[in-house]
């Protein structure tokens, strides 16, 4: 309950700060739409000469693209700004104020600021998914929707935990954006269903940099194509990564000797 209230306060504060730059808000929304256009065009280009890619028709692939948009919105609205904040806290030594508060320090450090307007990407992504389902003339069963929702949440947890594992390295190397950029490179592979890639890439994107679990898996579940094993794999990965990121964070905090004086 306390954590929900804090999240709400952080969200409200972020909004208050952004209100000052209302022009940015309009500009950013425009950019979001433009970016979606570019991503759409890239996917459409693949379908010019073929009816399917990797066994997915165009509307089916659009669900994957919609999910990709959702997650890139989450990365830009939540993960990236908080990474900058954490790096700043470590550099300036103000992490001290986070570590002396009687709440979970990882929570306090990693969910503190939001670039609210980047959530436009999330909304647009969900829009694309709804549109694609309309094109397919497909109404998923409530069970499929439930599994989809669970996998979506698992995806959010996975991307958060995986990202935090990388960001926690900031306690040792202050400039971690190089590392998260590497992740972003892998992440762009998630625009397409992973079945378009060779086996070893698919394996990499499932088990090492779990991008497939963010986009392809939930999309497949919505279409009723995901086996229970893979659904459970996704949930298991989410739980495992979350535990791992918390453990790594605590380990890092123990080794933290903040900037002097």
Partner 1 sequence: MYHIEVRHLKKYYEVHHKAPGFWGSLRSLVRRETRTVRAVDDISFTVAPGEIVGFLGPNGAGKTTTLKVLSGLLYPTAGEVRVLGFTPHERQPAFLRQITLVMGQKQQLLWDLPAIETLLINKAIYEIPDDEFRRTLDELTELLELGTLLTKQVRKLSLGERMKCELAAALLHRPKVLFLDEPTIGLDVTMQAKVRQFIAEYNARYGATVLLTSHYMADVAALAKRVIIIDHGHLVYDGDLETLVQQVAPYKVITVTLRQSVSPSVLKPFGHVLAANGVKVSIQVPRGTTSRVAARLLQEFAVDDLTIEEPPLEEIIQHVFTGGIREASPDVA
Ligand X SMILES: Nc1ncnc2c1ncn2[C@@H]1O[C@H](COP(=O)(O)OP(=O)(O)O)[C@@H](O)[C@H]1O
The footprint of partner 1 on residues 108-137 (CB under 8 A) is: 108
Q: Which is nearer to partner 1, 52 or 177 (CB)?
A: 177
Q: Which is nearer to ligand X, 41 or 257 (CB)?
A: 257
DSSP helix/strand/coil, 55: coil
Smallest gap from Cβ 84 to ligand X, in A, equals: 22
Q: How many CB atoms lie within 10 A of CB 145?
A: 13
The DSSP secondary-structure symbol of 100 reads T
Give the H or E element holding residue 231.
helix 228-254
Decide: is 257 part of the binding site for ligand X (CB under 6 A): yes
Smallest gap from Cβ 94 to partner 1, in A, equals: 5
The structure tokens listed for 169 are 């390295």
Q: Which is nearer to partner 1, 20 or 137 (CB)?
A: 20
Residue 52 phi, psi (nearest 5): -135, 155
Q: How many residues bind partner 1 (CB under 8 A)?
A: 30
In angstroms, how far is the first alpha carbon of the chain from the final one?
A: 36
The footprint of Mg ion on residues 52-91 (CB under 5 A) is: none
Decide: is 261 part of the binding site for ligand X (CB under 6 A): yes
Smallest gap from Cβ 261 to ligand X, in A, equals: 4
Give the H or E element holding residue 26.
helix 22-47
Sole binder of partner 1 in the list 55, 96, 236, 251 (CB under 8 A): 96
DSSP helix/strand/coil, 168: helix
Binding site for ligand X (CB under 6 A): 257, 260-261
């Amino acid at each position: 309950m306390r954590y929900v209230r804090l999240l709400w306060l952080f969200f409200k504060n972020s909004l208050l700060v952004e209100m000052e730059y209302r022009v940015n808000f309009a500009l950013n929304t425009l950019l979001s739409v433009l970016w979606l256009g570019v991503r759409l065009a890239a996917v459409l280009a693949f379908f010019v000469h073929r009816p399917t890619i990797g066994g997915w028709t165009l509307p089916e692939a659009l669900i994957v693209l919609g999910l990709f948009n959702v997650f890139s919105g989450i990365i830009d609205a939540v993960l990236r700004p908080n990474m900058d904040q954490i790096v700043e806290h470590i550099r300036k030594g103000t992490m001290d104020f986070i570590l002396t508060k009687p709440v979970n320090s990882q929570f306090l450090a990693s969910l503190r600021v939001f670039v609210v307007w980047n959530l436009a990407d999330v909304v647009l992504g969900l829009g694309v998914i709804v549109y694609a389902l309309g094109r397919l003339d497909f109404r998923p069963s409530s069970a499929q929707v439930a599994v989809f929702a669970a996998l979506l949440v698992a995806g959010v947890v996975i991307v958060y935990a995986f990202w935090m594992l990388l960001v926690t390295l900031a306690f040792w190397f202050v400039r971690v954006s190089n590392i998260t950029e590497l992740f972003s490179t892998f992440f762009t592979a998630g625009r397409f269903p992973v079945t378009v890639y060779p086996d070893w890439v698919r394996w990499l994107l499932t088990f090492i940099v779990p991008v497939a679990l963010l986009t392809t898996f939930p999309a497949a579940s919505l279409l009723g194509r995901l086996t229970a094993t893979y659904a459970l794999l996704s949930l298991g990965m989410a739980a495992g990564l979350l535990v791992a990121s918390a453990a790594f964070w605590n380990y890092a905090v123990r080794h933290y000797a903040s900037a002097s004086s």
